[in-house]
Amino acid sequence: MMLCKLSIKNIKKSFKDYAIYFFTLILGISIFYVFNALDSQTVMINVSSSTQDIIELMMTILSSVSVFVSFILGFLIIYASRFLMKRRSKEFGIYLTLGMSKRKISLILFFETLFIGILSLGVGLLLGVLISQVMSLVVANMFEANLTKFAFVFSTSACIKTIIYFSIMYLLVMIFNTYSVSKCKLIDLLNGAKTSEKVKLKNPYLCIFIFIISSIILGKAYHMVTAEFLTLQEVIDIIKPIIMGVVATFLIFWSLSGLILRIVQSLKKYYYKGLNSFTLRQFSSKINTTVFGTTIICLMLFVTICLLSACLTIKNSMNANIKELAPVDAMFETNMNMEKYYDKYRAYGYNDSQIKNSHYTAKEMFELFNFNITSYFKEYIEVNTYATEELTMNNTLGSRLDNIRTNFPFLAYDTMETIMKISDYNKVANFYGINEYSLNDDEYIIIADFKSMVNVRNIALENAEVINLFGHTLKPKYNECQAGFLEMSSNHINSGIILVPDNVIDKEYLYQNYLIGNYKTNDKNEIIKIENNINELDKNSKAKEYLLPSGTTKLAIKEATVGLSAMVTFIGLYLGVIFLISSAAILGLKELSESSDNKERFRMLRKIGTDEKMINKALFRQIAIFFVLPLILALIHSIFGIIFAVKILEVFGTDELLPSIITTAVILVFIYGGYFLITYYSSKNIIKERY
């Protein structure tokens, strides 16, 4: 009973000094609960069956991510306990001096961990339940669900999962604390706070040399993931710049640990101004042993910034793409004249009957299956595309082919180009509400929106490469690709369509027929019925002889897009926020430990007449250096990391990148800056003179 009272008294006494520890526990528990309770929140939301499938898939992925997150949080809690043990080394030494056994000290720590666990679990779960209700609204908004059945939801499964995971973490902490107490020595406990690392000035020339070498390595890694991006084809090609970046980051911090004090000492006026010399000596006394830790924190911040920016960009861009790239209700396509390319289509799995009967348009094929288009569509258009083995990318790239092939070896240069009559494309453009074009009899235009391919094609267009098609010689009307697309999608996937004058086309090379239209109804349930009817046609016995048109609809694109963007967003936020909290918490806890170690030094400053304002300013600068140093390099890494991400995400579109970066910056300032302020004010409390 006495030990329980002592444990509770210790918790009350240290609560103010170690607000970061409790804040991190509560925040970690609440976030863990929120993301594991998403499935329970969506139970009360009226969504379609396909959307529910997406949500179930998302929850499966989040459950797997939660296991990884639990390891991170577990490490963080044990790491925090290590510093708390160090902070209280003198206290434990006094207990031993007074005759208390190590077993009783272990029991005190057991009760403290138990009480802290119960308290943090209770508060964290309560906060998590409240936040999860807000998250329900976010999920409902994201999936455009019906909120008429929305109600307050408590997830029993998420609660049990959270309690189990964190109980295991606290059990590991108890084992760690018991082991630490059993190995401690009285002399080490009593003098632990007085020991500090001696300032070892490294050879400045060696530091400069290492800094230059590491900067060159880092620059090469940046170049590989940006300028050489398209040449990275294998896993090793991606891993190589990552390893180079990690090693260079470590070496930069190692070299800076030996250079910063040397550089500032050479600036006499600044070094001897106020308490600058004290602050920098304090920084240098610890920096040598924190190089590895600072490197890890820098890399975690880098991953956080890139992860949050990328996932938010995908979400925002894909949502914006739906309006732009899916402007009508449905689009169906069917392959024509498949006998002309018999071997190709046999390879795709089509049978002889389907190939032989490939002279029907999409509308005619639907009619064969007794599906009357005019009964369901209020308006529709039909257009064709053409292809010939005489016009492949090899031909359109012309004299620039060899140069382009060297720089972009992975492209399928033998693929037939998609050709379209200008009148057909303008019919589509008018229907979609996008730009229409005009051509002279000897001109052609390439429309594309997939940026990498646009850049490749522009190399040839800038050189005004002519093409020969069906006996006609055509020159480009523009020296660059024009914006446009044919097939509806949630992403920018059009790698190039050749628009030519109508009189150029040879109808024998008809390749595909498209049926594009809008339904008579706007009611979602009615649209679902129509699309279910179309899907049922595949079960018709005629499907073995005739190739049913394939296609996509706005509703299908929307649901798939929303599902993917939701998964990416939640997983990115989950990992990003956990990484950010872990980075900031580790820094904060380490600085609190340093403040505890340096309490006597600050007391000496007071004895020689230093006022509180100067002491607080010195403390603020010392903590700021440790927080800002890894952040600066992480931000530099992130610039190139985001450039790399942009190249990968260009299929989704990157127009929403800036808002995503701004949102990431706000999250970073709120959490990282919040930890910095908590660390500073807690450190102020630790170094206060106590009478």
Report pLDDT digits (tens) over 177-207. 777 666 666 555 555 555 444 545 567 778 8
- In angstroms, the CA 164 to CA 32 distance is 12
Write the CB contacts of 521 (distance below 8 Å, at least 6 apart in sequence). Answer: 527, 530
**pLDDT by residue (tens digit) across 303-315?**
899 888 888 887 7
- Region 94-105: mean pLDDT is 68
Show me where the domains of the chain are located: 1-195, 328-556
pLDDT of 21? 76
Lowest mean pLDDT across 105-114, 152-161, 533-542, 579-588: 105-114
Cβ–Cβ < 8 Å for 149, 140: no
Predicted confidence (pLDDT) at residue 650 exceeds the cutoff of 70: no
- In angstroms, the CA 74 to CA 71 distance is 5
Cβ–Cβ < 8 Å for 162, 125: yes
Phi/psi for 499 (5° steps) reads -95, 130
Tokens of 247: 């090693």
Task: Classify burial at 19, counting beta carbons within 10 Å of its beta carbon; exposed 0-12, middle 13-18, buried 19 or more.
Answer: middle
Phi/psi for 259 (5° steps) reads -100, -35
Q: List for the chain the helix, strand, coil content (%; round to 5).
A: 70, 10, 20
Beta-bridged to residue 512, according to DSSP, are: 335, 385
Q: Given pLDDT bands bounded at 50, 70 and 90, which one contains residue 505?
A: very high
Our CA dihedral for 551, 556, 561, 563, rounded to 10 degrees, sits at -140
Cβ–Cβ < 8 Å for 589, 653: no
| Cut 0.85: pTM above it | no
pLDDT of 691? 40
pLDDT of 37? 81
Cβ–Cβ < 8 Å for 447, 497: yes
Cβ–Cβ < 8 Å for 424, 498: no
Write the CB contacts of 684 (distance below 8 Å, at least 6 apart in sequence). Answer: 616, 619
**What's the half-sphere exposure (Cβ side, CA atoms, 13 Å) at 562?**
23
Predicted confidence (pLDDT) at residue 91 exceeds the cutoff of 70: no
**pLDDT by residue (tens digit) across 343-385?**
665 556 677 787 787 888 889 888 888 888 888 899 999 999 9
Dump the DSSP string for 308-339.
HHHHHHHHHHHHHHHHHH--SSEEEEEE--GG
User: Could you tell me the end-to-end alpha-carbon distance of the chain, in angstroms, rounded to an integer?
Assistant: 30
Lowest mean pLDDT across 152-161, 259-268, 516-525, 587-596: 259-268
pLDDT of 102? 66
Give the DSSP letter of residue 472: E
**pLDDT by residue (tens digit) across 651-690?**
565 666 788 888 889 989 988 998 898 888 888 877 775 5
Cβ–Cβ < 8 Å for 554, 516: no
Cβ–Cβ < 8 Å for 358, 337: yes
Q: What percent of the chain has pLDDT over 90?
A: 16
- Region 483-488: mean pLDDT is 91
- In angstroms, the CA 526 to CA 39 distance is 27
